[in-house]
Structure formats: structure tokens, C-alpha cells
Amino acid sequence: MSDAAREFIVARFEDERRLIDAVRAVRARGLRVYDVYAPYAIHGLDAAMSLRRSRLSIATLAGGIAGLVASLAFEFYAAVIDWALNVGGKPDNSTLAFIPIAFELTVLGAGLATVAAFLSRCRLLPTMNARPVDAAVTDDAFVLALRCRQTAFDRSLVERLLFEHGAETVVSKVIEP
Amino acid sequence: MAQELTFFKRRPDAETSRRDFLTRIGFTLAASALASCSRGPVQKAIPFLNKPEEQTPGVANWYATTCAGCSAACPLLVKTRDGRPIKIEGNGESPLSGGGTCATGQATVLSLYDPDRLTGPMWHGETITWDEIDRRITERLAAARERGVVLLTNTIVSPSTTALIADWSRRFPKFRHVSYDAVSFSALRQATRECFGTAGVPHYRFDRATTIVGIDADFLGTWLAPVEFTRQHAARRRRALSGEMRHYQFEAGVSLTGSNADRRFGMAASDHGAIALALLRRIAAHAGITEPLPDVDAAIDEHAIAAAADDLWRDRGQSILVCGSNDVSIQVIVHAINAILGNIGATVDVDLPSLQKQGDDGAVDALVEDMNRGDVHVLMTYGVNPAYDLPAGPEFVRAMESVALTISFADRLDETAAHSHAVCPDHHFLEAWGDAEPVKGSFSLAQPTIAPLFNTRAAQESLLKWLGESPDFYSYVRAVWRRELYARQDRYHTFDEFWDHSLHDGVFEDPARGYRSQGSARLDPERWHAAARAIAHDHQRAAAARMPDSYELQLYETVALRDGRHANNPWLQELPDPVTKVTWGNYIVLAPSAAKALEVETGDVVRLAVGDHMCDLPAYVQPGQAQRTVSIALGYGRDRAGKVGNAVGVNAFPLVAAHGGHRRYVRGDVVLQRRTGKQLPLAATQTHHSIEGRPIVKTITLEELLSGTPEVMAPQPSLWPEREGGEHHWSMVIDLNACTGCSACVTACQAENNVPVVGPDEVRRGREMHWIRIDRYVDVAPDNDAALDVAFQPMMCQHCQDAPCETVCPVLATVHSSDGINQQIYNRCIGTRYCENNCPYKVRRFNWFQYAGNQEFDYTTTDPLERMVLNPDVVVRSRGVMEKCSLCVQRIQAEKLSAKQEGRRLADGRIKTACQQSCPANAIVFGDLNDPESEVARLRRSRRHFTVLEELGTRPNVGYLMRVTNGEKTEKPS
Amino acid sequence: MTRWKLVIAIAAITSVVGAGVVARELSRVGVHQWYSPVQPIAFSHKLHAGDSRIPCLYCHFGARTSRHAGIPPANVCMNCHGILQKQSAEIEKLKELVAIARPIAWTKVHNLPDFVYFNHSQHVIAGVACQACHGHVERMERIEQEAPLTMGWCIQCHRAHSGGANAPAASLDCGKCHY
Amino acid sequence: MTAPVVARERRAVDFTGTRTATPWIEGEPTLREISDDVIRPLVTRPGFGWWSCFAVALCALLIGVSAVAYEIATGIGVWGLNRTVGWAFDITNFVFWIGIGHAGTLISAILLLLRQQWRTAISRSAEAMTIFAVMCAAMFPLIHMGRPWLAFWVIPYPNSRGPLWVNFRSPLLWDVFAINTYLTISLVFWYLGMIPDFATLRDRTEAGIRRAVYSVLSLGWNGSARTWSRYETTTTLLAGLATPLVISVHSIVSMDFATSVLPGWHTTLFPPYFVAGAVFSGFGMVLLLLIIVRTVMHLERYITIAHLEAMSKIMLLTGSIVGFAYATEFFNAWYSHNVYERYTFVNRVSGPYAWCFWTMAGCNALAPQLLWMRRVRRSVPALFILSILVNVGMWFERFVIIVTSLHRSFLPSSWTMYRPTIIEVGTLVGSFGLFFTCFLLFIRVLPMIAMWEVKAVARHASGAHV
């Protein structure tokens, strides 16, 4: 990928309010926001960037069902099919007594599935060389990144636009994908 | 930053150290892996060189022999495995014991493996060879030929030994045989001789009595022949269910017999005579005898006396009066009453008397004088321990110094042997030949069940040897039997045939034996008038001598330790006393009122002073104990019994008094005083004795039973669908009306199932391991604290069909078998104790420590010798696992297998659990519910049947038959 | 990123495989299949039980009546070797030991833990062939433990014979072997 | 390779002027100040206060370690248990610690779902407390076994015994699964919450070992809005899972008793009653910890009186529920007309362990009623004492339930007394040692306040958010 392709306009804000304004303005200009970086989850930003609602809950459901079915099936197999022992005169298939464990494993499955899905979807993996667009975004900076190479992109116009909406600094930067 | 860098730089060794840390880890892992995979020690298997004919490894052999635990000499069957006796059972062939045993008898097998036994003869404390010691002794005997040679023994019930002693008196002109019993019956003996001219004490037949009156005679616990009497009593009770039978007990302390009486009355220990006289007066009146009787003023319950006397009279000829006093006059009165009632020959047999308790107290006192005078040159002590169990023990030891040669046959260096010149250790009875005639005309044989473990020799063989004859008691016994008994029977035509059968059966009944009734055995009124006057006189003297703040002391035997000769037996030391449930040691029993007066509670130390003799004992507060009487158990306080028995409790024999040449176990001149602040906590297995009004032990009155109420309980509905069972459905029923609480089953179970002994400290912590315990509930009438309602309930795993313990075990270590047994799998158990918590009956026992082979618990399984008693068919449990009654599953398996081997159907009654087999009252029945004809199925249908806590829906397979109370015992619990 | 994925993948695989191996090894702790120690006398079951067809129970008579099959006492050996002319170094060993009346200390091959009650006669009656547990003894020069003798191994046979209506049914109750 | 920056004169806009004071953070820290305050403990040397606490905790831990070592080497017999009382200190401590754990989950999960902003400052340490408490709790079922080295038998793994599985009907087995699930989910939740803070730490640390560690832990977090949005979904989902989980865990623990046959144990009231009690004791412990921490670590501006008051209100509620449960138990016993039930409760109030019962009733049911008074709710010393009382009381509650029910159950013949030995006391002390050692290390090496959450709250509250 050529440098041009990886070149971005990176605007830094001090305040989430201005950031959101900027996002709105930029998108109004028909420009695509590459990404926004912030020290915490900014409410209303999703709307401004019109991000789709996450589908992680599907993973949760799947994990839960898997845990439930697997545990119930195993308990039934062990206690009824494989070796039915007379325990306190109870019937081999004491389903009621099997429920607590099934429930716990349901929760376990759902929880782990959710987290696994989240990590993989966001490509969060142990890494030594994390390269945040700006070291301050995890502290107190709010950053908006625009890809330079896109239709209707005019550097000077964009810079002005950003400054108008309260950007502190606007730099052009190469971001490794 | 700099910090981080230096963190690396400054420690060049970091890497290396880390590396060899890793290597070490790796090594340990590898090592442990290797260790776990290696097959441990190689096991060797060493077969016989030449296999003995009768012995197959792993198959049990049974031998009939005779118990030497006490003078009752019960016939036994001994189970040996691979040549080792491991279990003792009663011999069902016996007309006396009927297959029952007592706790003592059950425990004798452990004494065989007692590591404190002497391993060979000793001379002045040095080990020596038999030849050498024989040489020295024969020399000295020859020297003493014309002088006094004395053999001091306890009662000899063996005809052969008696014959041998006769040989001695023929050989040595001045030979004397003196016998005494640690707990003496000499007064009863003398009274019997005076009244009926019989030598011996009467042979009582409680099974023929409709009214039984006991005065301080604990005939179900320790008096004379408890096993036989328990059998009789239970048999009579069983018959009585369809009729009238009543047992009155007058007693000072609370005894096992009193606890089982229909009506129990308290009395001062000194009132034996007064009560006997009062009974006589009323019965004489009934009988129309007019001569006036002297009066004694004693605070006795006239109504009780009247009731008892009237019942005795109503059932004359089938009633019985026994008294535990060792006072001739009182026993004469008792005989007189029985004679007037025409019980002599019916329930009291004086023609074929009991040959137990032939001891003569006067003779011993005389002997001590002779010894001091120097008239005794050789003294042999056999089966007695005078230094310990004579009241004048120290005097006796001093007297021994003036005897040229003292020989002891003791099996250990006991109190007497320690002061003897020569000790010629006797065999344990399981190693020796012998015979017995406890009751005239009923004989039994004793045969060795194992080759002598040590370099010991039967006392009889020593005696033979010193007579210059061949030391072969086997042939001697044979000879005696050929001479005495072979002629009396005509069943077998050769002696060998006769001998083999007798040896096989273990018992021989003289066919000529049989009760020649002499119902009209009247005795001369003048005799009992004299006795009455004597009693009145004594009573006045005693009353005059009594100090205001003094108490009466009553000395008694405990079911476990009896006269103390078995003090080194850990099974007996840890056997809870049936009445107090206390183990490991004796104590002073106080009435609640006395305790209040002394401001003591159970466990506080009380100092007891008799003249200048003092001893400190923990108090035990006992409802039902007579107000002014305190009781102390004999048989404790040994100091040369061995590692287990030494210094347990206090020796009470020095407190025994003497009167008219007879020992007296009651005295009135005792002063008590509280030792402030001192405590000796008792090791009791049960500390709460009230049943709290809970329907646990169910009781039904005879009226209710006969009138057909209550109806049979409908079985509780179960939440769960019934699981289909297997081929059998094992079940047990225990008859609470027959059970006397004698605790033989407890020891039997301990022997059968390798139950560990844990010692006093653990018992104090509530950690005894017995699989079967006997719960004892006592409730006291509000008005009269002598009228106890005592209930015994053997309690072991109830083997519930719907067992709460099984559901909660996380690892399936306790599950239900197809044939109804609640199984405990030790090797699967991880020890969460959840089952124990969830068991409503609290019958599960946890191995809090590693008991087997642990020096901390040096009782039964530490010494390799002791381990020989272990039952190889039952695993020895390790630390951290739960255990409990298995219904003797090993016996069930064995019987099922032998039935299979012999291709026959498993008959009902073939399987006997250890507790069931030992029970002298036959209170326990085990069997298969799938067989509707089986005894247990029949009892389960009985109107008296109930299961404990059935409202919980645990559906126990162990059931109980209700107690039947008889007589106006309205003051019932709840 | 990809490098990390690789690392993680490898880590995951190795841990799974490692766990499997460890579990497998641990499950064999105390299992001594194929144990075949050298015996004081090189007794050949192949020769006796195989070639000369001596029935197992002739020497191991205990199995008929006792929980222990038992190793035959020397006099049983001598029943034949007292008469037979055939000599060998091993037979010499036997005869010497008998001469000096010293029993032979064989090394036990088939060992069960103490907490298991096993009864030979029970299985002999039920008609279980000796080979079912001891393997093809008649082909072994030196005796060898062919079966794992684990509980699972016992159970699979008991399961197979538990339903028997006419044949003696093998019990699956824990208390059948553990008490 | 940054392109030449086009510098422009910065617009003079004053954000700070618009801030308004919030109840949940005192003073008006900027985002950077928040980071500084939270990170300070991680980079500065610990003070005397911390060291002394740590020393004490470590000693306690050592006592516990030696007590447990001795017990495992010798046998459970070194405890005071007997044939009738099979559980006492061990399971009391187990239930006690599990209960403590619950407040953490409640704060981090349930209050999250309820959008309670005040939780942000305390959630991190509350979750840490949960994890350490569950660790302490999990220790007791292990060491209370007669043969702990075989504990792995409770896991249904394929084995050479048939295979022989486990008894899924046993509440003890339910515990195994409940506790492990609870521990796992709590750990995951905890770690997930720390990822953004690890990123912050990473970006504030120069290259080096620390930075390496932080960047590995932060999983390359770059604060992207997309990640943030999914992140919020995930935490919400996990919170949704943790809420029923936390309730199930203590319900299952209560079933150890409720499913038994013992009078005093066998009651359907237990699950809700235990959950309420758990939350109650948990908040007691959080309060205790935070009162200590905020003073020792100088975090008063983040952990404010308002926080303490909010928690004390929850204590008041749950404490009253617990008190009501006690009353209900007695009513049932009386109403059941069952001789065994009735005796058990009479024995509780008047038997040999009556003093334990009254301690429990006083600390749990009566003492919290003081919290009706605002003055008490806002007075740190009062809350400090109350939180200690609550923990004592809740420990005794479990002791009373377990021991008084066991020592006098159905058959009077087996009634006994239980007396703890020094070893058992040592083990209890040790569990506290373990807990506080872990917690003290935690506040030194990990950000004990969720920076990103506090920042969000700070900004939202500042009205900067439209």
C-alpha cells in the first residue's frame, strides 16, 4: 500500500462535545470518518457516526445454549445411561437435581463466548507494539481520523472545517492499518 | 526506566538461577512421575512347604472351646483364619448360654494377642528356661514335702484341674488348696450349705419365674452367670407377651438389671436385710406362719414390699427372689422365702447347683496368718491376683516375703507376679486344653485354637510336671473324661467316639441331669429366726454407728471390666458402661440430691475418705441412685496390667469391708468432700440421657398389646417411584423388649469389623468409632426419683431405602445396593462429612486420624502382634474416610457364596450378623424381606414393629419392636 | 498480530495435547499391565499348563474353595517331581529347597489393592475361565500380567454378565467388592 | 513521519467555566488529573500505612498456612469436630467468604444495569474483593475434606473406574460448579474492565519491561470508537449474566443446608435469605475496605461520603431483610408444630450457643437500624464500626445455623458440644490474611479505580455532554 493510501488527517480535540460536532460536520460534507479515538465511551457518538448495533448478543445466546445442552446431556448420560446407581432411592433421571449445574454451565458458556467474540471481533490480542494514533487518546485526548485519499477530499477545506469545530491541532499522519 | 534496566543488568545470575530452578522443577516432576508409576515394594507370596490337611488359606476354621473370661465358662465357637483366632462366638449347643456371649467373652480373643503377656518363665525377674525353672522348683518342693504347700486359685470349674489338685493333695500331705473370688459369694455359699447342705450356690432358673424379685443382684449384668440369666430373662419376657410376668428390683445404685425391671425401687445399700425381712414377714403371713419376727426400723417403701411380696406369693412355685448381699443371715432369709414359696427345686435348684464362685473368704484370711506365721513354704497363685484384688493386698504382699517359694502362673507380670520368686506364665485359654463344669452336670471342653504364641505352658502342665508326671494335660483331660463322664452316657460305644463328638460339639450334658423337684423343701424356722435376729442386731449397730454427714458406699462390678482381670483389654476399656455410658475409668456415682449437697456436678473431683484411706474420683450424677448411697466400680486402678490398663481409674478393692469372715461390698462410714476446682472430665459416649419426649423409643403397655391397639402402622408414602430391587432385601429387626443393653453386640461388632479403639481423649471429644451403640434413655418420675423409666435402643446404620446420606455425597462414596444395603465405599470417600451431618440417626463414624498403626493410638493395631486379630475379610480404614455399620456384608457374601458352592438355597437364619450372633437375649433378627416366610418378614408385620423417625420418609431397613411395659408404670416419658 | 495468533494457536494445541498425555499417564498410575518379574525358579506354565495340559485347579486348588487361588505348596510339585526322572537345574533348585524344608518365595504377579475383596472360588463357580483374567497362561514361559486389573476392567465384564437370568448374575453393587 | 504541522492560533474557549460540581467526585479534576491520581499509587513507593497493613496481613497469612499444613499433615482431628458436628468453622468460613464476594458482583453488575453512576469509583475494588473473597471461600471446601489430595474426584473426568462419574444430586457438587463459574466470570469481567486502563498505563510509561507488560495486558487497545461501542455491549451482556449468576451461587450454597433433613437446615426460606445476607455482609466488607483505602491511599475525592451513604442504604435494606428472615424462621418452627423444629429454635435462643445467636441478632438485625439516621449514614467512624459489626454478625449467623442445628439434632443420645481448636481459629485468621494480602497487593499494582469510567462520569456530569 502506498504512503498516500495510508495517509490520514488526524484532528485532536480536548472535548467530546466538539468532537461530535466535528464528526457530524465532516460527514455532512460527505466525507467518511475513518475512526474516532477517545479515552472513554462517548455517548451519542455511535449515532453521530451511525455505527451499526453490535451483534455480540448472538454469540452470548449460542454459548449459553451450548453450555445448557452440553451439561444436561452429560448429566443425563452419566447418571442414567452410562452407570445408573441407586442414590438415596431417587430416580436415575433426577432432572430437578441436574438443573443447578446446567444453569451454571449455561452462564459460563454464555459469558466466555461473549468475551471471545468481542476480543476476536475487535482484534484485541496480546501485542508488544500497540500503535495508538495518539498516545493521549487513552488519557485525555479525543481524536478524529480521516483518510486523505477519498473523493471530495480537499485538505485545506477539511482542515478549516476541523478547526472551525474546535480542533486543537490538525496533522496529517501515516497510520498502519 | 533506569530501574527496569538495572533490574536486568544488576543480576547476571538471574537467567542461570531461573534455568536451574526450571531444571529442578523438571526433575521433581520426572521423579514424582517415576515414583507414581513404579509398582512400589515387590510383594512376595510364600506358600506352605507342606499344606496342613485341614487348613486352606483364606478359608475359616471353627473350633469349639470354653470361655475363661469369668467363672460362668460359656461354651464358645472360635473362628480361625490362616491359623489365627480372630472371632469368638457363643456355642449354640449349650443349654446354659444358648449361643450367647458377653462383651468380656467377645473381647478375650484380643487378650490372646496382648503384647504385655510374658513370653517365657521368669525367676526373680530374670528370664529362664523351663527346664531350669522346673529343676529349681522341684528341688524346693521336695524340700517342702512335709511342710505347707498352698495353691491359691480363683474358683476352679474344671473337673480335670480339680482332679489334678486332688493328686497334689495325695502327694503332698500338707498341701492345701485355697480358692477365693475377687468378688465373693461366700455368704450365699455358706447360707446354701447351712439351709440345704449343698456345696455351691443355687442354680437359678429365671425362665421359669413369673414373678422375679431382685435385691441388689445385677443378674443381667455381672451377677453369677449374666449370659445365661439374660437368655432366661429374655425367653421369659418373650413368653410373657401373652401373659403376666413382672420383675421387681430393689437396689441402691442403678444397675443394668434395675434398668430392665418392670418396677424398680430405690433403697439404701444397708437395707438389704430390712427388705428381705419385710418380704419374709408378709409372705409368712400369707403362708399362715405366726411366729413373730424382729422389727427393724428402716425407711423402706412398704407399698413396694407389699406388691412384690403379694406377687411372689401369688406365683409361688414359679417365682424367684435373689439377693446380691454377701451376708449369711440375709441369704438365709432369702432362702427361707424361696423355700416358703416352694421355689426350691422349681426356680432355685440346689440339687444341681452352680459350681461357680466356690471361693471362701475366711480361708484366705487364715492363709495370710499362716504365711505370716511361716507355716507356708511354697505358695502357688493361679488365676488370682491377691496383691490387687484382696482388700488387704499390701498385707498379703508382706506375708509373701515370709514364704520360701512363691510361684505365680500369671500370664503377665501383674501385681502379684511382680512379687513372686518364680513366674510360670500360663497359656491363654485359646492356646490350651481344658474342660469346665460351671453347673453340676453340664460339661464343656476347651481345645487349643492356635499353637502357643510364646514360650508359655499351661498351669496344669506345670503342676503335672512338678508332680513328676508327663506335662500333657490333653491326655489328662481325656483320662478324666474317660473315667468320669464316658460311663455316664450310653449314646457312644467307644470312648474315642464319645470324645470326638464332645470335642466337636464342645459340650456334654449328663443325661442323669434333670430337676428333681423338692417343692416342699422347708427349712427349720429356728434357723431363719436366728438370722432375722442377727439382721436386726446388725442393723441397730450400724444405725448407732452412722455419723450424721456420712454416706453409704456400695462397690459394684461393671459389665465391661468385672473384677479387673481384663483391664488391659482396650475393647473392654472403651466399651461404654451400659448404664452410665462412661468409658475408660471409674467414678463415684452420686444421687442428684447428694450432688447438690456437695455442690458438685458430673466431672468434678470428689475426695472419699474411709477411716484413713482416701481416694479422689470424678463424680457422676445418676438419677435413681439412693440418696445417701454412693457407688464405685471395682476392677479399675491396675498398676501392673499393661500399657492399656495401667493407671485407668482408682482401685476400689481396698474399700471392701469384712464382716463375719465374709467380704462386704457395702459400708456405711464414708465421708465425702468436694475437691474445689479439680476436674476429671469423664469419657462418656452419651451425655444427654433424657429422650425429651420424642417418639424415638416406642413403648406399649401389655394391656394395649393384648387389647390389640395400636394398629399396625401404614407404610409412609414415598415421593419417589419404587426402584425394583434385587434377589434379596436384607433387613433387621431388634426387639427392644428383649434387649437388656448388655453391650455384647458392641464388642462383637468391634471384633468382626476391625473397629479401632481411639482412647479416652478422643471419646471425650465425641469421636468413638463403634458401629453399633446402645442409646440409653432414662426419664425420672417427678415424684419419686427411684422410679426410673430406662429404655435401651441399639442404634446402628438404619440402612434407609431412601437414605439422606447417599443423596449428598458428591463422589458416590455411599450408594444403595440392589439388596437394600446402604453401602459405604471407603476407598472412594474423600471425607466431606456431609453424609454424617445429614444422617438423622448420627450413626456414621469418621476417621479423624490415621488410627491403624499410629503410635498416638497404641491400642489395637500398632503392635504387629495385635494386628493378628484383624478380620482379613474387612478392610482396615485409613484416615479421612467415613465408615459405619455394613450389616456385616462380608458375612452375607460368605453365606451366599457357600450356598452357591453347595448348590443349595440360602436358608433363612443362615446369615447371622456379628451383633445378632452375640446377643444372649436373641433380640436381633436379620433376614431377607423378599422371603415372606422369613423370621424378619414376620416380625416386620408384627403390631409392635416400628422404625425410628419414620416421619422423615427415610424408610429404614432396620426396624424395632416396641418395648412392652408391665405394671402401673404410668410415669412414662412424654 | 498474525505472529501472536500463531503463538496462541501453538500454545493452545500444546496445552490440550499435554493435558491429554498427563491425564493418560495419571490414569495408569498403579496399573501394572505386562508386569512379569523373574521368579526364584524359572517355572514354565507353558510346559505344565500348555504342553502337558495339567489343569489349573490341580495346582491352584484353592481357587475352588477359597478367595485365594494360592500358589501350590512344594509337596504338590513333588507329587510329580518325586516320581519323574526328568532333571533340570530348576528342578534341582526345587528339590534342594524341599530338602532343607524352606518354602519358595515367589514374587506375586497379580496384585489387587487391599480395599478390593476378590474371591477366586466365586468366579470359578460362575464358570469364568482362568484365562479371562490371567490371560493365556498356558502360552507363557514366565507368567505375566495380561489384564490391567483396573476397576473399569472388572466392571466391563460384570456389566456383560449382569443381566443373566439363569446364569449366576454378576453384581454391579459397590458393596460386592468394597467392604 | 508526521507531515509538517499547520499551526494555527488556538481558539480561546474556556471549558472549565462550564463545569458544575458533581456528588460523585469532589473537586473538579481534569481527565489527566484523574489518571494521575489513580496511577500515583502504582508508581510511587508505598507509605508506612501500606507497609504496616501488609506486614499484619502477611503474618496472618503465614499463621493460616501453618495451621492448614499441620491439619493436612495430621488429620481433620486437629479440629474440634466430632461424630455429631461434622461441620463448623470450615463451612462457616466458606459461606462467610462467598457472601462477602457477592457485593462486588452486585456493584459491578447489577448497579451497572441500573445505570448507577456512583458505582464507577468503587466497582474495580469491589470486583477485586469478590475475586479474593471467592478464593478464600474456595479454600475451605478443599481443606475440610478428610483426604484433600483426592479433591479432584469431584470433577467428572473419564477414569479407569468404569468410568465412575460423580453424584450430580449432591449440593456439594453444585457448589463446585457454582464457585468455579463464579470465579471465572468474575475474573473475566474484572480483566475486561481493566483493559482500557492498562492502555492508559501503557501510553504513560516509557518503553521498558513495565510498558511491555502493560501493552500485552491492554491487548493493543487503541480507544477506537467502534471498539468502545462493542465494549459497552459486552460489559452490559456480562453484567446481565453475572446478575443471575450471583443470585444462583448463594442460592446453591444455601441448598447445602436447605436440601438436608436437619431441623434448622431444612427450610425453603434459605435461598433468598442467604442472598440477602450475602449482599448485606458484602457491603459491610466493601464499606470497611473503602473506608480504610480512601484514607490510606488519599482517594477521598473519588470515594466520597456520598458513596458511603449509598452503600449504607443498601446495608439498611438487606439487614432488615435478614432480620425479617430470622423472624420468619422462628414463626415457621412454631407453626410447623414439629417437636424437632421447635426444639432447634428454642435451643438457638436459650441453648449453650445462645450467646452466638444474640450476637448475630444484635449485629445483623438491630445495629443496622441506626442507619435510618442520616447522621449515622454520613459519619465515617460510625459506618466503620457498623461495617465491622455486620461482618462479625454475619459470620456468627453461619456459625449459628451450622452448629446449633447439628449439635442437637434428632436423637438426644448423640447430642454433643463443639469447641473450636486453635488450629481452626488459625485457619480463619489465615483466610483473612490471604484476603488482605491479595487486596493490598492489588491496590499497589493495578489501578484500583476504573479511570475510564470515572472520566466518563466526570465529563457527563460536567455537562460537557449534550
Which CATH number covers residue A167?
Answer: 3.30.70.790
List CB contacts of B246: < 8 A, sequence separation 6 or more: B210, B211, B212, B262, B263, B311, B966, B967
Residue written as grid cell 434448622: D264
Measured between beta carbons, the chain B residues lying within 8 angstroms of C102 are: 49
How far, in Å, CA of D354 to CA of D337, rounded?
22
* H or E, element range at B864: helix B864-867
Judge contact between D132 and D435, C-beta under 8 A: yes
State which of B140-149, B465-474, D35-44 shows the largest mean pLDDT.
B465-474
* Residues above pLDDT 70, as percent of chain B: 93
Other Cβ atoms closer than 10 A to B858: 17
Question: CB B955 to CB A88 under 8 A?
Answer: no
Query: pLDDT band at residue D244, thresholds of 50, 70 and 90?
Result: very high
Measured between beta carbons, the chain B residues lying within 8 angstroms of C21 are: none
Judge contact between B918 and B744, C-beta under 8 A: yes
Which of D237, D439, B853, D191 is closest to A59 using CA atoms? D237
Question: CB A89 to CB B815 under 8 A?
Answer: no
From chain B residues 808-837, the ones with a CB under 8 A of any chain A CB are 812, 815-818
State which of B534-538, B602-606, C88-92 shows the largest mean pLDDT.
B602-606
pLDDT tens digits for range D179-199:
999 999 999 999 999 999 999
Query: pLDDT band at residue B464, thresholds of 50, 70 and 90?
Result: very high
Residue written as grid cell 457395702: B666
D150 close to C (CB below 8 A): no
From chain B residues 10-69, the ones with a CB under 8 A of any chain C CB are 33, 36-37, 39, 42-51, 56-59
**Is residue A62 assigned to a domain?**
yes
Q: Give how far A96 is from chain B: nearest CA, Å.
A: 13
D162 close to C (CB below 8 A): yes
Which of B871, B744, B895 is closest to B97 using CA atoms? B744
Return the ∠ at Cα B831 (arms to B827 and B836), rounded to 5°. Answer: 115
Question: CB C37 to CB B890 under 8 A?
Answer: no
Which of B278, B333, B277 is closest to B527 using CA atoms? B333
In a shared domain, residues A154 and A103: no
Q: Which 8-state DSSP code applies to residue B728?
A: -
Which of A63, A28, A68, A64 is closest to A49 using CA atoms? A28
Residues B4-32 have a mean pLDDT of 39
Phi, psi of B891 (to 5 degrees): -70, -40
Q: How distant, in Å, are the alpha carbons of B275, B279, B309, B362 from that of B284?
A: 14, 8, 10, 33
Query: pLDDT band at residue B149, thresholds of 50, 70 and 90?
Result: very high
B6 pLDDT more than 60: no
How far, in Å, CA of B110 to CA of A18, rounded?
95
Interface probe for B, chosen from C174, C176, C177 (most Cβ of B below 10 Å), is C174
How far, in Å, CA of D65 to CA of D143, rounded?
11
B285 close to C (CB below 8 A): no
pLDDT tens digits for range B864-887:
898 999 999 999 999 999 999 999
Query: pLDDT band at residue A167, thresholds of 50, 70 and 90?
Result: confident
Per-residue pLDDT, B709: 64
The least confident of A122-126, B304-308, B938-942 is A122-126
Interface probe for D, chosen from C33, C151, C177 (most Cβ of D below 10 Å), is C151
Which of B970, B952, B582, B602 is closest to B789 using CA atoms? B970
Helices (H) and strands (E) in chain C, counts: 9, 1
**Is residue D57 assigned to a domain?**
yes
The least confident of B823-837, D414-428, D452-466 is D452-466
**Is residue A128 assigned to a domain?**
no
Residues B890-898 have a mean pLDDT of 92
Judge contact between B685 and B576, C-beta under 8 A: yes
Q: Which 8-state DSSP code applies to residue B724?
A: P
Measured between beta carbons, the chain A residues lying within 8 angstroms of B801 are: 89
Measured between beta carbons, the chain A residues lying within 8 angstroms of C4 are: 125-127
pLDDT tens digits for range B515-569:
454 544 567 788 888 899 999 988 888 888 888 888 999 999 999 999 999 999 9
Which of B744, B761, B792, B726 is closest to B930 using CA atoms? B726
Question: CB C152 to CB D157 under 8 A?
Answer: no
**Is residue D215 assigned to a domain?**
yes
Judge contact between B195 and B332, C-beta under 8 A: yes
Q: Give how far C152 is from chain D: nearest CA, Å.
A: 4
In a shared domain, residues A61 and A93: yes
Strands B604-610 and B613-621: antiparallel
Q: Which 8-state DSSP code applies to residue B872?
A: T
B945 pLDDT more than 60: yes
A1 pLDDT more than 70: no
Query: What is the residue-wise DSSP string for B186-217?
Result: HHHHHHHHHHH--SSEEEE-GGG-SEEEEES-
Q: Give how far A84 is from chain B: nearest CA, Å.
A: 11
Query: pLDDT band at residue A158, thresholds of 50, 70 and 90?
Result: confident
What's the structural domain count of chain D?
1
List CB contacts of B28: < 8 A, sequence separation 6 or more: none
Residue written as grid cell 483391664: B567
B805 close to A (CB below 8 A): yes
pLDDT, averaged across chain D:
87
Q: Which 8-state DSSP code applies to residue B800?
A: B
Interface probe for D, chosen from C25, C155, C171 (most Cβ of D below 10 Å), is C155
Chains that touch D (3 or more CB pairs under 8 A): A, B, C
B826 close to C (CB below 8 A): yes
How far, in Å, CA of A145 to CA of A159, rounded?
12
Residues A159-175 have a mean pLDDT of 83
Query: What is the residue-wise DSSP string for B344-361?
Result: BTTTEEEEEEE-S----H
Per-residue pLDDT, A28: 85
Of A77, A93, A121, the domain-final residue: A121
Measured between beta carbons, the chain D residues lying within 8 angstroms of B691 are: 412
pLDDT tens digits for range C9-41:
899 999 999 988 888 787 777 788 888 888 988
| Helix, coil or strand: residue B31 | helix
Measured between beta carbons, the chain D residues lying within 8 angstroms of B834 are: 86-87, 170, 172, 256
Residue B710 preceded by cis peptide, ω within 30: yes
pLDDT tens digits for range D355-384:
999 999 999 999 999 999 999 999 999 999
Question: CB D222 to CB A78 under 8 A?
Answer: no
How far, in Å, CA of D392 to CA of D358, rounded?
12
Work out how many CB contacts closer than 8 A connect A with B: 38
Q: Which amino acid is at B233?
A: H
In a shared domain, residues A32 and A66: no
Residue D163 preceded by cis peptide, ω within 30: yes
B666: Cα within 13 Å, side-chain hemisphere: 21
How far, in Å, CA of B960 to CA of B945, rounded?
6
State which of B293-302, C74-83, D80-89 shows the largest mean pLDDT.
D80-89
Judge contact between B743 and B226, C-beta under 8 A: no
Measured between beta carbons, the chain C residues lying within 8 angstroms of A125 are: 1, 4-5, 8
Other Cβ atoms closer than 10 A to A58: 12
**Is residue A44 assigned to a domain?**
no
How far, in Å, CA of A10 to CA of A159, rounded?
10
How far, in Å, CA of D82 to CA of B363, rounded?
52
Interface probe for B, chosen from A86, A94, A96 (most Cβ of B below 10 Å), is A86
Q: How distant, in Å, are the alpha carbons of B213, B270, B276, B321, D465 from that of B327?
A: 18, 11, 12, 15, 109
A24 close to D (CB below 8 A): no
Measured between beta carbons, the chain D residues lying within 8 angstroms of C28 are: 160
Q: Give how far B9 is from chain D: nearest CA, Å.
A: 13
Work out how many CB contacts closer than 8 A connect B with C: 126
**Is residue D22 assigned to a domain?**
no
Question: CB C5 to CB A125 under 8 A?
Answer: yes
* Boundaries of every domain in chain C: 1-30, 33-71+109-179, 72-105
Which CATH number covers residue D221?
Answer: 1.20.1630.10
List CB contacts of B558: < 8 A, sequence separation 6 or more: B222, B577, B586, B633, B634, B635
A16 close to D (CB below 8 A): yes
Judge contact between B474 and B468, C-beta under 8 A: no
The residue with greater pLDDT, D10 or D85, is D85
Per-residue pLDDT, A33: 84
* Closest chain B CA to residue A97: B807
Phi, psi of B648 (to 5 degrees): -105, 110
Query: pLDDT band at residue A3, thresholds of 50, 70 and 90?
Result: low
Interface probe for D, chosen from C112, C150, C173 (most Cβ of D below 10 Å), is C150
C8 close to A (CB below 8 A): yes
Question: CB C4 to CB A125 under 8 A?
Answer: yes
How far, in Å, CA of D31 to CA of D452, rounded?
9
From B1, B686, B692, residue closest to D343, measured CB to CB = B692
This complex has an ipTM of 0.90
HEC readout, B920-971:
CCCCEEEEECCCCCCHHHHHHCCCCEECCCHHHCCCECEEEECEEECCCCCC
pLDDT, averaged across chain B:
88
* H or E, element range at A37: strand A33-37
- The alpha carbon of B526 is separated from its chain's Cα centroid by a whole number of angstroms, namely 40
**Is residue D129 assigned to a domain?**
yes
B707 close to C (CB below 8 A): no
C57 pLDDT more than 80: yes
The residue with greater pLDDT, D104 or D341, is D341
Look up the domain containing A30 and give its range: 4-39+137-174
How far, in Å, CA of A142 to CA of A144, rounded?
7
Per-residue pLDDT, C30: 79
Q: Give how far C155 is from chain B: nearest CA, Å.
A: 15
Q: Give how far A85 is from chain B: nearest CA, Å.
A: 7
How far, in Å, CA of B83 to CA of B71, rounded?
27
Question: CB A123 to CB C1 under 8 A?
Answer: yes
Interface probe for D, chosen from A58, A122, A137 (most Cβ of D below 10 Å), is A122
Which of A116, A142, A108 is closest to A11 using CA atoms? A142
Residues D163-177 have a mean pLDDT of 94
Phi, psi of D240 (to 5 degrees): -60, -35
Query: pLDDT band at residue D404, thresholds of 50, 70 and 90?
Result: very high
pLDDT tens digits for range D417-453:
999 999 999 999 999 999 999 999 998 889 888 888 8
* H or E, element range at B791: strand B788-795
How far, in Å, CA of A35 to CA of D249, rounded?
42
Question: CB A89 to CB B802 under 8 A?
Answer: yes
Look up the domain containing D413 and give its range: 45-152+167-447
B807 close to A (CB below 8 A): yes
From D159, D162, D164, residue closest to C27, measured CB to CB = D159
Burial class (CB in 10 A: 0-12, 13-18, 19+), D173: buried
What's the structural domain count of chain A?
2
Measured between beta carbons, the chain A residues lying within 8 angstroms of D5 are: 169-171
